[in-house]
Structure 1
Amino acid sequence: MTNRTLRLADVDVPEVDETGEKRAKNVLNGLIFSNNSDGWIVFEEKGSEISGKLIVTVYVRNRRTSEIKCINEIMREKGYIPDRNKRF
């Protein structure tokens, strides 16, 4: 399997070494790797960038409730909303 860098579709998080990058990474890791997640993660490919990053929508399942959550939606609810004028 080839390692690929991913970008969440329709979510704007700071790039590496930008202000807020560590906080955004911690939020994302907490959502994906929480104690309630059972490791069931689905990536829905939306496209790719010139840089080679794969643009994805990510879903995880809650271990206790079997509820499936869209990580992209949660990140937008937390304020990581893309600026439509920004070019990725």
Structure 2
Amino acid sequence: MASAALVRDGRKWRLALTTSNAALITLTVRDGLGVAVAPAWFISPGLRILDDMDARYPLGIAEMGIKRATGAATPILDVFISHIKAELNSTALAA
């Protein structure tokens, strides 16, 4: 969504890093080597939201789903899925 928003606006950009390592992303952005698209809970000391970019390039809404095999229902799995849903909903409401 971020790259599509930048392209729509004709803004030049390049992908400099891709990783699933949250600490590396934090350090890279904190040290001024780039920007990242991340949820609000990711903001930590040394990071800030770029309000002008946030307003100019709205990302829209991302959706997630949980899929499980037919017949895979167990009480433990049901509790786990309920917990995940509750956490995601409370995070979305807090943002």
Same fold (TM over 0.5): no
TM-score by structure 1 length?
0.23
TM-score by structure 2 length?
0.22
Larger strand proportion, structure 1 or 2?
Answer: 1
Larger helix proportion, structure 1 or 2?
Answer: 2
The structure number with the bigger radius of gyration is 2
